[in-house]
Chain A
C-alpha cells in the first residue's frame, strides 16, 4: 500500500490556490472496539490515508484487531471509509478538529 500523508495541495507549475492559508481539512479520531473486531482487514485496506495497521494484540475471541499506525495519528481525515466498510461495527470515526492543509513542493 503506497504511503500517503495529509497532503491536499499538489502544485502544478507552482501555482498556489489563493485561499490556501484559509483552507482547512478535517482531522478524524478513530475509535476501535477491540472485542467486536474479527480481524478481516477491510478497514486497513480501504483507509485512503493508510492510518491503520494490525496491532500485536488479540481480543478475547482470538482475532487480531487494528490500531492507528504510530506517527499517523494526524493523518485521519474522517472520511469514514473504515466505519463504512467494517462489517462488525467495531470501528468508528469522528471529526474532532479542523487543521490547515500542509503543502508539499
Chain B
C-alpha cells in the first residue's frame, strides 16, 4: 500500500525504529546464535539510553571479551571493547577522570566474575560509580561452552563432561556483600522490568549491578534446557521477590527450584568518585578546577 509523505510522517515509529539511531544497523544481523538472549539486552539497553534523559553522547559503554562483550559493537555510542576480564577497571578509570559521563559495563559472567572477579570485588568495595550489566548464560559461550564461575554444580559443559563439581557464584548475594549500592536480577524475558531497572541504575551514585539471566544454545544443548524451553520457564517459573533473602537465591537453570528475580537492593551512599570530588574541593580550599 503506498502512502503520501504526509501520511507516512503521521505513522508513529515502532519501538525498533525509535532506537535505530542508537544501533549500528549496518552491522546487523548480529553474530549471536539463534535464540541467544543477548540481542534482547541490546534492544532494552538502547531503549533505556533513549529514555534516560541523559544525552546519548554522554553514555559510554565498555565491554570485555565473550559473547556479551560484542554488544558494544552494535551500539552507536562511544563504546570500548577491551581485554578479557578488564572492562571494569577501564570503566573506573574513565569515570573517575570524566565524572560527567555515564559509564556502563556490559559483559558476561565469565568475563566479569571469573577472570574479572578481582576487579568486580574491588569496584564494588570502593562503590565506584559505574553501571554493570552482567549477562549470565552459565558458561563461556564464545569459546565453545566451558564452565565458569556461575556454572551450577552438576552441569555438563565442554570442560565438565562428567558433570560440574564446583560451586557457582550467587551474583546478587556477592554483589550486596561486597558493597554494591544497587543490585537487581532479571531475565531476558522480563525485558520491561529490566528496562526500568536499567533506568534506575543510571540514577544511582555508586556500584550498580544487574544480573540478566539469558538462555544459551551451548549450555542448553548439554543440559537439556534449550533456549525456547528456558524462555518458557522464565514465563512460568520465575518468582519476583524484591525482598528475597539473597543467600537463598542461587540460580538453577534446570528450574527444579524457581528462579528469583527482583530489584533487591538500593542503598544511598556516596561513590568513590563523588567522595573524591569532595576531597579535591577540600584540598583546594573550595574552588575545584583544573590546572
Provide the bound-state CA to CA distance between A30 and B244, in Å.
39
Is there contact, CB below 8 Å, between A92 and B35?
Answer: no
Which chain B residues lie closer than 8 Å to A93 at the CB level?
14
A58 to chain B, nearest CB (A): 12
Which chain A residues lie closer than 8 Å to B15 at the CB level?
80, 83-84, 92
From 20 to 61 in chain B, residues with beta carbon under 8 angstroms from any chain A beta carbon are 23, 28-30, 32-40, 42-43
The CB with the most chain A CB atoms within 10 A, among B12, B28, B29, B192, is that of B29
Is there contact, CB below 8 Å, between A38 and B29?
Answer: yes
Provide the bound-state CA to CA distance between A63 and B29, in Å.
12
Q: Specify the chain A residue showing the minimal Cβ separation from B38.
A: A87
The segment out of A12-20, A39-47, A68-76 that lies at the interface is: A39-47
Q: Specify the chain A residue showing the minimal Cβ separation from B39.
A: A87
The segment out of B106-114, B149-157, B225-233, B255-263 that lies at the interface is: B225-233
The CB with the most chain B CB atoms within 10 A, among A83, A85, A86, is that of A85
The CB with the most chain A CB atoms within 10 A, among B32, B33, B228, is that of B228
Is there contact, CB below 8 Å, between A89 and B39?
Answer: yes
Is there contact, CB below 8 Å, between B191 and A84?
Answer: yes
Provide the bound-state CA to CA distance between A38 and B228, in Å.
13
From 72 to 105 in chain A, residues with beta carbon under 8 angstroms from any chain B beta carbon are 80, 83-90, 92-95
Contact of A94 among B11, B231, B235 (CB under 8 A): B11
Provide the bound-state CA to CA distance between A63 and B33, in Å.
11
The CB with the most chain B CB atoms within 10 A, among A39, A83, A84, A90, is that of A84
The verdict on A63 contacting B191 (CB below 8 Å), with A40-B228, A84-B15, A94-B12 known, is no
- Residue A54 lies at the interface, judged by CB distance under 8 Å to chain B: no
Contact of A89 among B28, B37, B192, B228 (CB under 8 A): B28
Contact of B14 among A36, A39, A83, A90 (CB under 8 A): A83
Provide the bound-state CA to CA distance between A42 and B134, in Å.
22
The verdict on A40 contacting B17 (CB below 8 Å), with A45-B231, A84-B191, A87-B40 known, is no
Q: Give 3 nearest A-B pairs by CB, closest first.
A: A87-B39, A38-B34, A40-B35
Could you list 24 A-B pairs, sorted by A, with CB under 8 Å?
Answer: A35-B29, A38-B29, A38-B33, A40-B34, A42-B35, A42-B228, A45-B228, A46-B189, A80-B15, A83-B15, A84-B191, A84-B192, A85-B40, A85-B231, A86-B39, A86-B40, A87-B36, A87-B40, A87-B43, A88-B29, A92-B14, A92-B16, A93-B14, A94-B11
Please name 18 further chain A to chain B contacts, defined as beta carbons within 8 Å, in addition to the given A85-B40, A87-B36, A87-B38, sorted by A numbering.
Answer: A38-B34, A39-B34, A40-B34, A40-B228, A45-B228, A46-B235, A63-B34, A80-B15, A84-B15, A84-B43, A84-B192, A87-B32, A87-B43, A87-B188, A88-B39, A92-B17, A94-B11, A94-B12
